[in-house]
Each structure stands twice: as C-alpha cells, then as structure tokens.
Amino acid sequence: MELYYRKLGKGKPLILLHGLYGSSDNWYTAGKQLSTYREVYLVDLRNHGRSPHHPVHTYPALRDDLHEFIIQHNLFRPTLIGHSMGGRVAVFFAALHPKLIEKLIVVDISPCSYEAENHPEETLQHKEIIRALQSIDIAEISSRKAADIHLSKSIPSFAVRQFLLKNLKAGKHKRFHWSLNLPALEKNLPEIFLGINTLHTSSDTQLDFPSLFIRGELSGYIREKDVACIKQYFKNSAVVTIPGATHWLPAEKPELFLKTVMDFLDIERE
C-alpha cells in the first residue's frame, strides 16, 4: 500500500508514526523541529489521514506497509518514533526487521497486548470512542459544531473531541465525511489491542538495538507490569516518564518531550 507522507529536512532518516484516530498532522510541529537535524518522514498509516482505506487493519498489515515505505524510499536504517498505535506498528516492524532500523522510540504504549483484565480503562475507552463517532449521522451534520455537540453526550473532554473531529472533512457542497475508515477500525479493534507477545519469538532473540519508551506520568498505558514486558523483549531499552503528562504527552509537554527524544538520539552532540 502506498502511504501518504510529507518529507522535511535532510540527514539520517527518521520516520514518525501517529496513533489511532490521528494523522501525520499530529507530528508536524515536532517533525519540523527535528528536521533541522534529520530527514523526517511524517506518514499517514492506512485507514487514517490521506492514506488509502482497506478492510484489514492489523499490525502485520501495518508493519508490511511500513516495510514497503522504507524500501520504496530507499531509507537506510531509519529511526522509528511511534505514538500509541504507531508505537505498536514500530514495535512489530522492529521485531521482524531488527537490522533495518537504527533506533526505536515508542511513546506511551506497551509492546504487550492490552486486555480487559490488564488495561480495562484503555480498552473500554476506545470501544466507546468508535461507537460515538459512528453514532454521528454524517448526512445530517451541517457543521463541526453540531458534531461536537453530539459527541459531547458521550465524550466529555473538549480536547479529545477536537482531536477526533480533525478527521471530519468537508467535501463538495459542504458535505462532511470521515478521513478515518471507521468500519475497518471497529472490526479490527481487537487486533489493535494485540502486542508482540502474540508473536512466536523466543528469549534468545531479544532485540538489542537502542530503544526508548516514553510514558506520561498521568497515563495508564505503560504501567509497572508493562515495564517488565519492555525489558523482556528489548534488551537495550530505557523507560522515561514525563511528569504531569497524560497519554497525549507530545502535545502536552512538547519541550520536555523533544528534549527527551534529542538526548536519546544524541543530536546535540553531532
């Protein structure tokens, strides 16, 4: 699948991968800053942004899309940065193609599966979000404000609603449509909760390239039991906590997030 992307800057390749319901736009500010030092690729994953829609939305499929992208653009050992679902895509890619990347940065997501037993709030939240988005009658919506009023019945956070409504696009004659492939995301949501513990790997194939996992202090996506999972699969890994941040830490704490990334990439020493 040929993914939509934007390219910024020159230098060693760096690929930024957005999370569920997101797009490459989410990474534009950080990508622009990093493009002073790197050749940055902002990518829309399948069923998001301006990339093609497809009924299959599994990590093997997303991983293979990324592999095709790297080959197509002749990128030599890029560093991958992925937030949430994009972090899982990066993890699945790294597990299969460890020699094709230089470093890995995963933002606020565990490499292991999320289930109702170990991450009840996170799994329930995504089910409710997709249900709320699909409850909007697109044919009857005349403005984003009207869509926001509808969503506010089930999603109280204004910031979350505004993030989600970035995917509501106005076409010809002011008719709205979703850039998200909501039916595919709903159908494949159980797949989106899966981690690399579902892969057939052994302890002697532990990944040893430099990897960094960044979590928000107020987020529940990487808990202490998830740190054990990180250490199980990533031999040369570190976990950094951004104080006062939730799951959306790149937007909430941009300066501290960027400093953490740059320190890990040794950018200031180059």
72-110 tens-digit pLDDT: 999 999 999 999 999 999 999 999 999 999 999 999 999
How far are the Cα atoms of 43, 94, 187, 190, 221 from residue 115, in angstroms, in the given order?
28, 22, 16, 9, 12
Rounded CA separation 226/111 (Å): 8
Query: So where are the chain's domains?
Result: 5-115+195-269, 120-189
CB distance 85 to 107 below 8 Å: no
**Tens-place pLDDT, residues 162-200:** 999 999 998 777 789 999 999 999 999 999 999 999 987
Please give the mean pLDDT across all residues of the chain: 93
CB distance 16 to 250 below 8 Å: no
Q: Are strands 168-170 and 12-17 parallel, antiparallel or unpaired?
A: unpaired
> What residues pair up with 79 in beta bridges, in sequence order?
14
**Tens-place pLDDT, residues 206-226:** 788 999 999 999 999 999 999
Kindly indicate the confidence band of residue 201, based on its pLDDT and cuts at 50, 70 and 90. low
pLDDT given for residue 203 in this prediction = 47
Q: State mean pLDDT over 34-41.
A: 97
CB distance 187 to 56 below 8 Å: no
pLDDT given for residue 139 in this prediction = 87
Counting residues of the chain whose pLDDT is more than 90, the rounded percentage is 84
Q: The tokens of 164 are what?
A: 């989600």
Rounded CA separation 177/238 (Å): 41
pLDDT given for residue 205 in this prediction = 60
Fold classified for 5-115+195-269: Rossmann fold (3.40.50)
Rounded CA separation 177/225 (Å): 40
Q: How many CB atoms lie within 10 A of CB 141?
A: 18
